[in-house]
Amino acid sequence: MDFRFSDDEEAFRREVQDFLKRELPQSQERAVIHGGETDEEWEFTKQFTRKLGEKGWIAIWWPREYGGLEGSDMEYLIFNEETAYRRAPRMDGGGTGIVGPTILAHGTEEQKKRFLPPMARGEVMWIQCFSEPDFGSDSAGIKTTAVEDGDSYVINGQKTWISFGLRGDFCYMTTRTDPEAPKHRGLSFLLVDMKTPGITVRPITNMIGADGFCEVYFDNVRVPRENMLGEKNQGWMVMMTTLSFERGTLASIAGSMRRILDDLVVFTKEARYNGQPLAKDPLVRQKLADLAIGVHMARLLVYRVVWMQGQGLIPTYQASMAKLFGDEMNFNIARVGTEIMGLYGQLAWKSKKAPFNGEIAGNYLNNLGCLFAGGTPEIQRTIMATIGLGLPRR
């Protein structure tokens, strides 16, 4: 097996690295900790995302007529890895990474021409509205309704735990359009402008004081019929497509974990304990070595998923395996990092004396919730057991 990247891919990696060194000041590097940006930081995020869009990178593998460069899935992986490693602020993940590919797969030509180019240019923020107060992991247990009325659908209901809900320009959501049908067969998938009358967004403050998660209420929200993605009552298949892309876009996790590991190595070399560098402590060295193994494994699992996508294959349990291992490793590296830093590891996110701006401590608190985003660990293990190992569901 040859795990090396091609010469062209390595050249593209260097191009991305050079761009980030030139265009991203170190002062603007930051971990994306669910909505923790100030308005000023968010404005920089929007402007920087548009710079990436001008390069054609955030939708690099899309067809040119929709704003892409017709590049490869592997180039998109490299781009995601490098921007995550540099903690580049981006607002395109839900668009170009998840719903954009879904529109490419299920959308009409009119929908592709209307929705995809603004995504590729980095001009809009897309958010996902799937989970509801009574149904999280049960993706088919949707109660939010969409009733056909002339040339529109009228939506009523509530969504919860919506990431970046306060920042979204558009959302993609599942609704129930046939209450009499079995729950997997009565769903439809809609693309909704968040400025539509009747939509109310309320923030949910998390453990680090960020308003990243939100509740979104729909009160007689009227959406044009042409905003339905796929056929009526066939939304389950469309939603599964989005989840496949969501679980497959994990290069950012691998890149951010490598950065945290490198930061920890620097910290242990500079920090002193009893007059000696912390890096001389055998226990610390062993912990860092274990983290290095886990980060490398997470990276290879992601590479397999992206390679399969590049071959025209659909990752199922492979994507779940990469997501679960990556999420748990991401949480573990933050936990071990706070332990290695001792009392400094307990300083709050953005505290003045906190190493690395308190981002490791912030990640420790934030990543606990990230374990459940995009499907709980139990859901991922069920997929691996049933599809990967062929075991019965019950």
Q: What CA–CA distance (Å, rounded) separates 120 from 56?
A: 7
Indicate the residue type of 383: I
Candidates 234, 128, 224; CA nearest to 173 is: 128
Q: Does residue 222 surpass a pLDDT of 80?
A: yes
The pLDDT value recorded for residue 56 is 94
Phi, psi of 214 (to 5 degrees): -140, 160
**8 A C-beta contact, residue 219 and residue 156:** yes
Residue 350: which pLDDT band, with cuts at 50, 70 and 90? confident
Q: How many CB atoms lie within 10 A of CB 272?
A: 9
Q: Does residue 27 surpass a pLDDT of 80?
A: no
Sequence-distant (≥ 6) Cβ neighbours of residue 138 within 8 angstroms: none
Length of the chain counted residue by residue: 394
Q: Is 340 helix (H, G, I), strand (E, B) or coil?
A: helix
pLDDT in tens, 125-142: 999 999 999 876 677 789
Output the pTM of the full model: 0.88
Residue 194: which pLDDT band, with cuts at 50, 70 and 90? very high
Q: What CA–CA distance (Å, rounded) separates 324 from 371?
A: 8
Average pLDDT of span 205-223: 87
C-alpha distances in angstroms, 387 versus 51, 180, 392?
A: 41, 29, 9
Q: Does residue 30 surpass a pLDDT of 80?
A: no
Q: Is 127 helix (H, G, I), strand (E, B) or coil?
A: strand
The pLDDT value recorded for residue 328 is 92
The pLDDT value recorded for residue 136 is 66
Candidates 160, 137, 132; CA nearest to 381 is: 137
Domains of the chain, each with CATH number or no CATH? 7-125 (1.10.540.10), 127-234 (2.40.110.10), 250-388 (1.20.140.10)
Q: Does residue 217 surpass a pLDDT of 90?
A: yes
Give, as one character, the DSSP assignment of residue 152.
Answer: E
Q: What is the mean pLDDT of the chain?
A: 89
Q: Does residue 253 surpass a pLDDT of 90?
A: no
Percent helix, strand and coil across the chain, each to the nearest 5:
50, 15, 30
Q: Does residue 31 surpass a pLDDT of 80?
A: no
- Of the chain, the percentage scoring pLDDT greater than 90 comes to 60
pLDDT in tens, 357-378: 788 888 888 777 777 777 788 8
